[in-house]
Structure 1
């Protein structure tokens, strides 16, 4: 990812991470390609990418983010700039933190050219030698804002559709608070546009939810 070059105005990436984290915690299942890091709730591991400029790294690299830094890690066989070949199957990997204090062990399962799943592992000392160490590479966080924007828009769109199509009222109050925060922020205008659509329908569905909760017979 080191060769990616975006022209982005000075924006605080923490605002994007803050909204992403709120949406993730609201319903983690929406983000099947993102998992919270073992024993580090404020840290996340991404095994797929959605923004067009990152698509070429699918199946080749994983990313770890928190509100302060993001690092990327090339899987065995991957090369710079989205080149190389990572074989399908299970890869046992070791990842060190930026300061080399923390060491984590994972099994990465690659099922096809793009799909990767992972699971953390607790190891006995004698088995650690079979794991491949992946160098920790740091990327300017601002360059990852387009990907965070896609992640946020995905979460908002799914919640929007769930309300409209499935009458899913589980997150109305939380969505209202999140969209309020988005509309007064400096986030991408597309994120604000989705938030405005959500806010336009929330009063109607909040009223329906209130009626259902009170068990009012609304038949004629």
Structure 2
């Protein structure tokens, strides 16, 4: 499920965006980091020198990895652009550069010949099947002349509907023009690589 956060834009805060995150990922990330902190502190306090080295290397590898896949992903959208923060990179797409947004097994944004996943808007096939069944029942009820029932769509589909609406409304704005920019998050990638290399070295010694 995705949690949208709507906030108004002010002249001094151009990035007061509508945000989409996965509450389940946030909760899971916090719990995993708490568990890693408890295990790491215990190993550093009570472990042998080798155990302490393993603990430091393991934390250096796992903490940014868990953070990247749980706490970091978010999609932000305002009148000018769509900002996609995925585990290892941040993609900024002015609305004029966005060709389409789709949700099949994952949510994706298309710009030119490039496709980018929206990690923070997971697709729940269970929600979608439930919504489809409810739509079929509502259509049957309408065919029998019964009172229409509002059908709640899956959260990922609702989020993409909102993003498509923002794109259609704002793509012609002068401030929504420009190229797509991609920034790799080396501050997250580097400690993962160093920690993983250290674990390999300690394993073979």
Name the one with the larger strand percent.
1
Check whether TM > 0.5: no
**TM-score of the pair, normalised by structure 1:** 0.25
Higher relative contact order structure (alpha carbons within 8 Å, sequence separation ≥ 6): 2
Name the one with the larger helix percent.
2
Larger radius of gyration: 2
